[in-house]
Amino acid sequence: MRKIYRAVVIPVVGAALLLGSAIVGSAATATLTGETFTWVGVQFNGFFSCQQRTPPSPSNIFYEVSTFPGGGAATGPYPGNFIEDGNITFDSGTGVITAWEVEDFRVDDSSGNLTVTGTKHLPPGVGTASCTSLSGTNSISTGQASAVLAYDATINTTSPPTQDSGTSTVTLDFSTDGDSVTGSHFSETFGVLTSEQQLQALIAIVQGQQLGPGKSLATKLMEILASVQAGKTNTACNQLHAFEHEVAAQSGKSLPADDGLIAAAMQIEGALGC
């Protein structure tokens, strides 16, 4: 993967590191919850590559986004510039993501101090992606992806540095001729999703991928969402169990095998305390 220029940061030791940081606090209070990454493609401040394959071979999206040349920022408890690069693997037929690995992400504050570093991966759950690579005189690659990722990070604004973990919601879309990425987008929000937010994301995926049979699964999820919004937790838990049973019965038939829907439902059950 082509690498974007990264600023070289000389470490600052002692109290100077804490005074120049975004947040001064104890290790127990440092967390990425509330952090947001926003990036917009401006010519050459990112890189995307689509490796489109025919089923059953999986397809891949490789990306790197950086705000050091401009085009966005990290905001929240650790503001500044960020870099993230990753590799997305997805089913070429259904679009279901099977792996999303971020080998490196980092945040530098306005003074150039490294405040956050970390990695991410796709936990058991659901995400979708697609991409198209057109060859010829005007070779253009386009694509999109969205998922909830698990992250592990080191926050360097405390002494000693804090180890933090949690989830982040990531969406991206891109259009590139191999060089310019103008008009592409990337956004990421760190923090635990509520059960309602998880259900809304799952409904969008089921509807977007037209996962069947018919509209049964989408209808069940909307009924579960209504129960959650009405505060009927026990009803929602029972409905989630019924949803899981239907998915299990249809797996390998009207649904792709091992599509992550049951794992996503169980994650929502955990958020509800079922």
Of 19-28, 87-96, 133-142, where does mean pLDDT reach its minimum?
19-28
pLDDT at position 26 over 80: no
List the one residue out of 204, 236, 229, 228 whose CA is nearest residue 218.
204
For the record, the structure tokens of 196 come out as: 């309602």
Question: What CA–CA distances, in Å, run from 269 to 142, 169, 242?
Answer: 35, 19, 12
pLDDT tens figures, 152-181: 999 999 989 999 988 888 999 999 987 789
What does the pLDDT look like over 223-243, one tens digit per residue? Answer: 999 999 999 999 999 999 999
- Reference 75, options 42, 109, 98; nearest CA is 109
Using alpha carbons, select from 216, 212, 207 the residue that is nearest to residue 252: 212
Q: Is residue 189 pLDDT above 60, yes or no?
A: yes
Name the residue among 212, 217, 215, 230 with its Cα closest to residue 265.
217
pLDDT band at 129 (very low <50, low <70, confident <90, very high): confident
Output helix, strand, coil percentages for the chain, rounded to the nearest 5.
25, 35, 40
pLDDT of residue 76: 93
Question: What's the chain's average pLDDT?
Answer: 82
> Is the pLDDT score of 16 beyond 90?
no
pLDDT in tens, 45-59: 899 999 999 988 999
Percent of the chain with pLDDT over 90: 47
